[in-house]
Amino acid sequence: MSERVIPIITQPLANLAIPQASSSATWHHGQPLTDMLNRPLHDLRISVTDRCNFRCSYCMPKEVFDNNYQYLPQSSLLTFEEITRAATSFIALGVEKIRLTGGEPLLRKNLEILISQLAGLQTLNGKPLDLTLTTNGSLLARKAQTLKAAGLKRVTVSLDGLDDAVFKRMNDVDFPVSDVLEGIEAARLAGLGPIKVNMVVKRGTNEQEILPMARYFRGQGVALRFIEYMDVGATNGWRMNEVMPSAEVLALLQSEMSLIPLNPSQTGETAERWGYLNDQGEHDPSLGELGFISSVTKAFCSDCNRARLTTEGQLYLCLFATQGYDLKTLIRSHGSAENLTQSIANIWSQRSDRYSELRSSLPHDTTRELAGGTQRKVEMSYIGG
């Protein structure tokens, strides 16, 4: 096996110029906004911090994100008011769901203030915003009630195994599984559901935790989702032979459990959904469900409807992007809300990203060129997962 190489990085990446309105743009005020592949803008993921208290090897390996790593200064971060202003423009273009991410979003001081501001926004059709948050669960037990009271709808918790030794090896900060499970229970009691639990499966590291995770969460009403180890960023030493395809994970689960495929919950759903059958051979939603996010082996670019806003106001249109757009300068220029909204519309309407589809169709050694040749891809801790 080849030795793992982890490059030293600095953030952020260079920015693209915000495009002018294109003659081929399909968006007009009051009409749905679509990109060049006819994909609507529906989901916005907002990173509220580039910091995390875990050092997971697939996201923020300790070899790079050590005690000397320079995080973004406070002055570079968007304020809560600036984030809310940006979110308002995205909602005007059709966004109905906002997910707060990081880093670890619960490290952002007074996050409940931002949540209350966003919870007061409504979609174009006058419905409440679907406001969610992804967390590693380390601070969830103490904050679940406050998050719910502020207006958060539900949470997704990252958990890569139930065995303490495996989990501690993956988070690399000696954090115990029991504290994450305590956070999940606190979220359930607070009403932050339905809860999703994400497990990144990395062959040779934690595939032995697949069945124990499914056994544990079956019957809890939780959506347990298995995520293929992805080639996000430049620091995780990604190798294709460490990817365990979702089809293989599903086959393992079906060797023990009776499962039934479910329809997508909405257009652009990232996870292929499966439900549990009860002892009578009937689908029982109360048992929860399983999901498979297969960005490596089964790309879902064709209906990707997500944009990502970093904590310092850079807009990225793909998880595997090499460059973004500087919205912070626009936001802080005190220009009109209409100008900000139109700029975002110009960006999205000229979007054509489909990295995963292209990567899946070509030999592995050519995928570097797809991601911009010598330009490195943005780190997950910076863009938000």
CB 78 within 8 Å of CB 84: no
What domain count does the chain have? Answer: 1
Mean pLDDT for 129-152 is: 98
Q: What pLDDT score does 272 carry?
A: 94
Integer Cα distance of 87 and 73 in angstroms: 22
361 is a domain residue: yes
Q: What pLDDT score does 368 carry?
A: 43
Mean pLDDT comparison of 54-58, 69-73, 182-186, 276-280, highest-scoring range: 182-186
pLDDT at 156 over 80: yes
Q: What pLDDT score does 367 carry?
A: 45
Residues facing residue 97 across a β-bridge = 43, 130
| Cα end-to-end distance, the chain, whole Å | 28
CATH of the domain at 296: 3.20.20.70
Q: What are the tens digits of pLDDT across the range 60-117?
A: 888 889 999 999 999 999 999 999 999 999 999 999 999 999 999 999 999 999 999 9
pLDDT at 369 over 50: no
Show the tokens assigned to 211: 């069945």
17 is a domain residue: no
259 is a domain residue: yes
Higher model confidence: residue 9 or residue 268? 268
9 is a domain residue: no
- Domain carrying residue 201: 36-383
351 is a domain residue: yes
Q: What are the tens digits of pLDDT across the range 319-338?
A: 877 889 999 999 999 888 99
Q: How confident is the model at residue 15 (pLDDT cuts 50, 70, 90)?
A: confident
Which run of H or of E encompasses 157?
strand 154-158
19 is a domain residue: no
In the three-class reduction of DSSP (H, G, I as helix; E, B as strand; rest coil), residue 282 is classed as coil
Kindly state the percentage of the chain with pLDDT values over 90.
68
Q: What pLDDT score does 370 carry?
A: 46
16 is a domain residue: no
Mean pLDDT for 35-48 is: 95
164 is a domain residue: yes
CB 383 within 8 Å of CB 308: yes
- What are the CA-CA distances from residue 93 to residues 28, 32, 97, 151, 175 (Å)? 9, 7, 12, 22, 41
Residues facing residue 268 across a β-bridge = none
Mean pLDDT for 220-236 is: 80
Supply angle C-alpha 174, 204, 223, rounded to 5: 70
Nearest to 112 by CA among 150, 166, 169, 56: 150
Name every residue whose Cβ is closer than 8 Å to that of residue 156 and which is 6 or more positions away in sequence: 99, 132, 133, 134, 135, 195, 196, 197, 198
Name the residue with tokens 């009776």. Answer: 258
pLDDT at 6 over 50: no
